[in-house]
């Protein structure tokens, strides 16, 4: 059965698009049929992070409005056969996304794919609500920092009230993905601890993605980090998170890049 997953956060710039690309690629690398859908109308970026920006012809709004068929708008990844992108429009107004239109596209995607991963725009307005509307599962992307945690709390409230699942009285499956985590700063006591964030938000932990220059490198060359450097710390964290999404139970560790040296390794082990 197809699963619709929304990657959301409330706060901007916390790593939603990075995580959508990395989780989507990781699930595809694990053999699933995956589509990543960009809901960030007007500010699309998922195409860039996936390295498909020059292959966009039609977009989500064209499909929603019936100007293009779904098959015309889907862009197949060059490296991973079972991974597709449905880009957002860069020029159109975000009001062009209608609720009925999105519902139709989602139904069609569910017939074709195992995982439909929706990259939410920042904020709590209409765009973010449309992105979460059809979700079965939510990944709440949070940085260990006060304003991000507060916004995540807001978004969790919306997931529990504004989604179709919530309106049917069902329980929305929610996971916390802690990103841009800096073990050095955590050790010094100047960054919220993992346990603090978990206690405050009280949703289960999907993974901890360390702050890493590999993420920037990956976006520079237009590849999800699980493709650009599969053995890097963030890639390993995303790969494990993708396995957990499929029901595997793995102990959460904080992977460190090799160059982080002895300290990173020691800490990684202690945090395991």
Ligand X SMILES: Nc1ncnc2c1ncn2[C@@H]1O[C@H](COP(=O)(O)OP(=O)(O)OP(=O)(O)O)[C@@H](O)[C@H]1O
Interface with Mg ion (CB under 5 A): 16-17
Q: Is 130 in the site for ligand X (CB under 6 A)?
A: no
Distance CA 231, CA 217 (A): 14
Residue of the chain from 4, 6, 8, 15 that contacts ligand X (CB under 6 A):
15
Nearer to ligand X, 45 or 89 (CB): 45
Compute the distance between CA of residue 28 and CA of residue 9 in angstroms, rounded to an integer: 23
Residue nearer to ligand X on the CB measure, 65 or 123:
123
Neighbour count for residue 173 (Cβ, 10 Å): 17
Of 53 and 173, which CB lies nearer to another protein in the complex structure?
A: 173
Check residue 164 for interaction with another protein (CB under 8 A).
no
The pairing of beta strand 173-181 with beta strand 137-142: parallel
**Nearest distance in Å: CB 167, Mg ion:** 26
According to CB under 6 A, which residues from 59 to 118 bind ligand X?
Answer: none
Residue 17 or 152 with smaller CB distance to Mg ion: 17
Selected range binding ligand X among 8-16, 101-109, 186-194, 264-272, rule: CB under 6 A: 8-16
From the list Mg ion, ligand X, another protein, none, partner contacted by residue 191 (C-beta under 5 to 8 A by kind): another protein
Judged by CB under 6 A, the residue of 63, 180, 228, 239 near ligand X is 180
Chain positions 172 to 211 lying near another protein, rule: CB under 8 A, are 186, 188-193, 196, 200, 202-203
Structure tokens belonging to residue 15: 């790593």
Site track for ligand X across 133-172, x = CB under 6 A: ----------------------------------------
Task: List residues binding another protein (CB under 8 A).
Answer: 145-146, 149-150, 153-154, 156-158, 160-161, 166, 171, 186, 188-193, 196, 200, 202-203
């Amino acid at each position: 059965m197809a699963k619709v997953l929304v990657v959301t956060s409330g706060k901007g710039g916390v790593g939603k698009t990075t995580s959508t690309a990395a989780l989507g690629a990781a699930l595809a690398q694990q053999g699933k049929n995956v589509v990543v859908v960009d809901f960030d109308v007007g500010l699309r970026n998922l195409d860039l992070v996936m390295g498909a920006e020059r292959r966009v012809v039609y977009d989500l709004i064209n499909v929603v409005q019936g100007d293009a068929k779904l098959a015309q708008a889907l862009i197949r990844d060059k490296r991973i056969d079972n991974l597709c992108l449905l880009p957002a429009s860069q020029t159109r107004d975000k009001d062009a996304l209608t609720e009925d239109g999105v519902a139709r596209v989602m139904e069609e995607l569910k017939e074709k794919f195992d995982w439909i991963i929706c990259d939410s725009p920042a904020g709590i307005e209409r765009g973010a609500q449309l992105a979460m509307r059809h979700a079965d599962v939510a990944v709440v992307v949070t940085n260990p920092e006060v304003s991000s945690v507060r916004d995540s709390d807001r978004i969790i409230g919306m997931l529990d009230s504004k989604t179709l699942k919530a309106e049917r009285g069902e329980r929305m499956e929610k996971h916390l993905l802690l990103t841009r985590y800096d073990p050095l700063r955590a050790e010094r006591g100047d960054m919220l601890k993992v346990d603090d964030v978990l206690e405050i938000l009280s949703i289960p932990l999907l993974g901890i993605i360390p702050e890493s220059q590999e993420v920037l490198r990956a976006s520079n060359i237009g590849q999800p980090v699980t493709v650009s450097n599969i053995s890097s710390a963030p890639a390993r964290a995303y790969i494990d998170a993708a396995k957990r999404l499929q029901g595997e139970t793995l102990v959460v560790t904080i992977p460190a890049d090799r160059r982080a040296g002895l300290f990173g390794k020691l800490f990684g082990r202690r945090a395991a």
